[in-house]
Amino acid sequence: MVERSPKAKGGSRGKRGADLQKVLRERIAKQEIAPGSKLREQELAKEYGVPRALVREALFALEQRGLIERIPNRGAVVVRLDLSQVFEIYDLREVLEGLCARLATQNTSPESWQDLVEMFEGPMVEFVKQNDYESFLTGYAIFRRRLIEAAANPILAGMLDSIYEKTQAIIRRIIVLPGRAQLGLSEHQAVLAAMRRGDADEAERLRRVNMRSGKDYLKRYQSFVL
């Protein structure tokens, strides 16, 4: 049997810790772990089959991202956003997502967006017609990730990912509101059309409009979704 070097073992440990952090981030974002829930080191270590030290590291990373907080006599608790914080985050998202669309358009050829144009004019239309919100959100995630990668700005990417984690549960609630999926689809089609033309100014403006309309829907139906 070949012994792994200490460096290799350390690398494996780091990967397991990163994997655990990613799983917990996704579960919190989708509210599979609800706001206000306690995260106990011993229970998580048993559930995921990892040492408590790795759980502790993952919880520290989640705290740094603002997803959990340490409360005296309660331990690690999933953060619950109040209404004013959600609206403040949407204001910030409007600016950052708009900038991301601008940079992505500037950094790439117009032709590189054709596949997404076709996706939003084909399969995504059918998802909305069929009220298949899970598939629609999966398509949206592809769109969003492509823009972030094309923008090629690591600081912007980190900020957008951190914000998105805090609002993903809200997005899932807004998408089922009357008319929101259809409006969101048309807004994304417009953004992609601008990117396909290579119009960075218009892509930024339309992406900001998209963010603003999401906030407006949230305000209109806030008593039902928050």
| pLDDT mean over 113-132 | 97
Which is higher by pLDDT, 16 or 77? Answer: 77
Q: CA 12, 30, 101, 208 torsion: positive or negative?
A: negative
* pLDDT, tens digit (0-9, with 9 covering 90-100), for 87-103: 898 999 999 999 999 99
Of 116, 127, 118, 122, nearest in space to 182 by CA: 127
> Which residues lie below 8 Å from residue 138, measured CB to CB, with a gap of 6+?
none
Which is higher by pLDDT, 176 or 110? Answer: 110
CA triplet 98, 103, 104: central angle to 5 degrees?
95
* pLDDT, tens digit (0-9, with 9 covering 90-100), for 179-225: 999 999 999 999 999 999 999 999 999 999 999 999 999 888 887 76
Whole-angstrom distance, CA of residue 59 vs CA of residue 42: 12
Question: Which strand ranges, in their side-by-side order, compose the sheet holding 38-39?
Answer: 38-39, 75-78, 68-71
- Give residue 36's pLDDT: 86
Judged against a pLDDT cut of 60, whether residue 3 lies above it is answered with no
The conformation of residue 82, written as its DSSP 8-state character, comes to -
The conformation of residue 110, written as its DSSP 8-state character, comes to G
- Give residue 75's pLDDT: 83
Helical (H) or strand (E) element with 199 = none
HSE-CB at 189 with a 13 A cutoff on CA atoms is 14
Tokens of 141: 């995630």
Of 198, 220, 218, nearest in space to 86 by CA: 218
Residue type, 206: L
Q: What are phi and psi of 125, to 5 degrees?
A: -65, -45
Residue type, 104: A
* pLDDT, tens digit (0-9, with 9 covering 90-100), for 141-192: 999 999 999 999 999 999 998 888 778 778 888 898 999 999 999 999 999 9
Whole-angstrom distance, CA of residue 179 vs CA of residue 177: 6
> Which residues lie below 8 Å from residue 87, measured CB to CB, with a gap of 6+?
215, 218, 219
CA 169 to chain centre: 9
Helix, coil or strand: residue 70: strand
CB distance 66 to 165 below 8 Å: no
CB distance 6 to 12 below 8 Å: no
- Give residue 226's pLDDT: 63
**Mean pLDDT over the full length of the chain:** 88
Length of the chain: 226
